[in-house]
């Protein structure tokens, strides 16, 4: 395989992975914050939920 062919194969693999990356986060549930009373833990859980939600876009 030439360097050009290898480069094309890598680019195609990366493009496929990037196209499917949003679907990978669908199985991750958001953190239920209803029982969290510690304000620091609540902020942390909210930020993690924001990250998970952003990954789904």
- pTM value? 0.59
| End-to-end alpha carbon distance in the chain | 36
pLDDT at res. 36: 95
51 and 20 in contact (C-beta within 8 Å)?
A: no
- pLDDT tens-digit profile, the chain (57 residues): 677 777 777 888 888 877 766 677 778 899 999 999 999 999 999 999 999 898 877
Provide long-range contacts, Cβ within 8 A and 24+ apart, for 23-32. 24/55, 25/52, 25/55, 25/56, 26/56, 28/52, 28/55
Break the chain into its structural domains and give their ranges.
Answer: 3-55
């Amino acid at each position: 395989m030439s360097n050009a062919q290898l480069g094309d194969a890598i680019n195609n693999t990366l493009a496929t992975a990037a196209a499917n990356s949003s679907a990978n986060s669908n199985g991750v549930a958001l953190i239920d914050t209803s029982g969290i009373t510690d304000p620091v833990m609540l902020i942390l859980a909210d930020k993690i939920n924001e990250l998970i939600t952003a990954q789904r876009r």
